[in-house]
Amino acid sequence: MPILDRYLAGAVIGGTLLTLAMLMPLLAVFVFADEMDRVGSGSYQLTEALWFVTLTLPRYLYQVFPIATLIGALIGLGQLAARSELVAMRAAGVSIARIIGGAMGGGVLLALLATGVGELVAPVAEQQALALRAAATSGEAVKIGRSGFWARDGDAFINVRQIEPGAELSDIEIFVVSGGRLRSATRASKAYYEDGRWVLTDIEHSRIGLEGVEVDRLERARWESLLSPRLLEVIVVEPHALPVWGLYHYLSYMHQTKQDAGAYEVAFWSKIVQPLLILTMIFVSIPVLLGSARSSGTGIKLFIGIALGILFYLVSRTFTYLALLYELNPALAAFAPLLLFMLGAVLLLRRVG
């Protein structure tokens, strides 16, 4: 990468990281203040609330990344404009396209960083946070690890590989331990809550005795358990916090079972759009900076960035609600705000170019 491109990319990355460093503590304070209402419920104390806030921060980081990129680009590149460096670049024959390309180089790195946080870190941390809070407030021993959700119900140890919204369970194993040894092991493909009881389907039940193992297979059976559906519902990650592949697999399941998947389709396409949105925010910042040149300070640019961020949020939420209410194409709802902002930036570039 040429020196000029690295210089422009560094300004965008530096401004974005600075913006995130200012935004994240503020978000943490708001989340912590909201959690204070739950402190004192069961064993949920101040330490647990602080851990909850820490574990949910990656999700908030991912959500605010596009807006932080816009503000960061305005601040980082705005410093170059304030020192007349952008004017000097233009006077030296550097085209607007070259400036945009250099800034976009930093945007690509930021998009990769945001995708890593949103796809790899945030979903896992969010599940751990919800499990921590649910266990502390309900008093039930629960844990989420690589092998799924674990809970104890008397002598039974329950492992659930996947919890669907609505407290539907998939790939369940129940181990009963008594007298220091394993008494039985039950595997079921699905479980759902009906009339105050759990119902298991596609069951393989193994009774383990000193003389050997007896295996029974059943299509359907009641499961007497104190495991609360409310506990499971509160540790199901919301659609916007699921990774892309998780959303894709769950969408396939919902389509097969003919359930309404509108919210999950919108969340899926929003995830697809997120990296492009980060690049779009950088593109939007260029005409704003070139139009103001040295005439406005950092405070004005910061205000412009916040105003544009709020505007984008309102527009994107409007399209999301329209898609859910009127069953519009979810891909259109996700891409439309991005295209509108791109169009506005192109028109402004033509004026300042």
List, for residues 171-205, the tens digit of each pLDDT value: 899 999 988 888 899 999 988 888 778 899 999 99
- Give yes or no: residues 159 and 126 share one domain: no
Q: How far is CA 341 from the centre of its chain?
A: 23
- Give yes or no: residues 40 and 174 share one domain: no
- Give yes or no: residues 53 and 132 share one domain: yes
Number of domains present in the structure of the chain: 2
CA angle 345/293/310 to nearest 5° reads: 45
Is the pLDDT at 170 greater than 90? The verdict is: no
Decide if 145 contacts 159 (C-beta within 8 A).
Answer: no
Is the pLDDT at 233 greater than 80? The verdict is: no
- Give yes or no: residues 15 and 132 share one domain: yes
Alpha helices, H only, 169-297? 229-234, 244-256, 262-292
pLDDT computed for residue 60 by the predictor: 94
- Give yes or no: residues 81 and 158 share one domain: no
Between 36-45, 66-75, 111-120, 254-263, the lowest mean confidence (pLDDT) is in 254-263
- Give yes or no: residues 50 and 74 share one domain: yes
- Give yes or no: residues 127 and 159 share one domain: no
The last residue of a domain, from among 227, 262, 277: 227
The last residue of a domain, from among 192, 227, 262: 227
Which structure tokens are listed for 10?
């560094």
Share of the chain above pLDDT 70, in %: 89
Distance between CA atoms of 268 and 288, rounded to whole angstroms?
31
What domain range includes position 106?
3-138+253-352
Is the pLDDT at 141 greater than 70? The verdict is: no
Higher pLDDT, 90 or 272: 272
Is the pLDDT at 297 greater than 70? The verdict is: no
In a domain, 150, yes or no: yes
- Give yes or no: residues 11 and 123 share one domain: yes
Q: What is the mean pLDDT of residues 160-179?
A: 82
Between 130-144, 228-242, 315-329, 337-351, the lowest mean confidence (pLDDT) is in 228-242
- Give yes or no: residues 47 and 128 share one domain: yes
Distance between CA atoms of 325 and 319, rounded to whole angstroms?
10
pLDDT computed for residue 237 by the predictor: 62
Q: Which of 133, 118, 143, 132 is nearest to 239 (CA)?
A: 118
Q: What is the mean pLDDT of residues 192-220?
A: 87
In a domain, 335, yes or no: yes
Distance between CA atoms of 50 and 237, rounded to whole angstroms?
19
Q: Within a 10 A sphere around the Cβ of 166, how many other Cβ atoms? A: 12
Residue 185 has φ and ψ, to the nearest 5°, of -140, 130
Q: Find all residues with CB under 8 Å of 200, minimum gap 6, and list them.
A: 172, 186, 188, 190, 191, 218, 220, 221, 222, 223
Q: What is the mean pLDDT of residues 222-249?
A: 74
Which pTM was predicted? 0.78
Q: Within a 10 A sphere around the Cβ of 6, how many other Cβ atoms? A: 13
pLDDT computed for residue 230 by the predictor: 66
Higher pLDDT, 134 or 91: 91
In a domain, 325, yes or no: yes
Is the pLDDT at 114 greater than 70? The verdict is: yes
- Give yes or no: residues 23 and 134 share one domain: yes
pLDDT computed for residue 280 by the predictor: 93
| Cα end-to-end span (Å), the chain | 25
In DSSP terms, which residues pair with 188 in a beta bridge? 172, 203
pLDDT computed for residue 303 by the predictor: 80
- Give yes or no: residues 176 and 133 share one domain: no
pLDDT computed for residue 154 by the predictor: 78
pLDDT computed for residue 24 by the predictor: 96
Q: Find all residues with CB under 8 Å of 185, minimum gap 6, and list them.
A: 173, 174, 175, 176, 205, 206, 208
Which structure tokens are listed for 84?
């007349």
Decide if 237 contacts 305 (C-beta within 8 A).
Answer: no
Confidence of residue 56 (pLDDT cuts 50, 70, 90): very high
Q: What is the largest CA-CA distance in the chain?
A: 90
Which structure tokens are listed for 75?
């601040």
Q: What is the mean pLDDT of residues 118-143?
A: 80
pLDDT computed for residue 138 by the predictor: 67
In a domain, 239, yes or no: no
Amino acid at 248: Y
The mean predicted confidence, pLDDT, of the chain is 85
pLDDT computed for residue 292 by the predictor: 59
Alpha helices, H only, 36-83? 46-82
Q: How far is CA 76 from the centre of its chain?
A: 26
Between 13-22, 184-193, 226-235, the lowest mean confidence (pLDDT) is in 226-235
In a domain, 155, yes or no: yes
Q: What are the pLDDT digits (tens) for 299-342?
A: 777 787 788 888 888 888 888 888 878 878 888 888 999 999 89
pLDDT computed for residue 234 by the predictor: 59
In a domain, 242, yes or no: no
- Give yes or no: residues 7 and 62 share one domain: yes
In DSSP terms, which residues pair with 318 in a beta bridge? none
Is the pLDDT at 247 greater than 70? The verdict is: yes
Which structure tokens are listed for 98?
């070259």
In a domain, 238, yes or no: no
In a domain, 153, yes or no: yes
Q: Find all residues with CB under 8 Å of 43, minimum gap 6, and list them.
A: 136, 137, 139
pLDDT computed for residue 353 by the predictor: 62
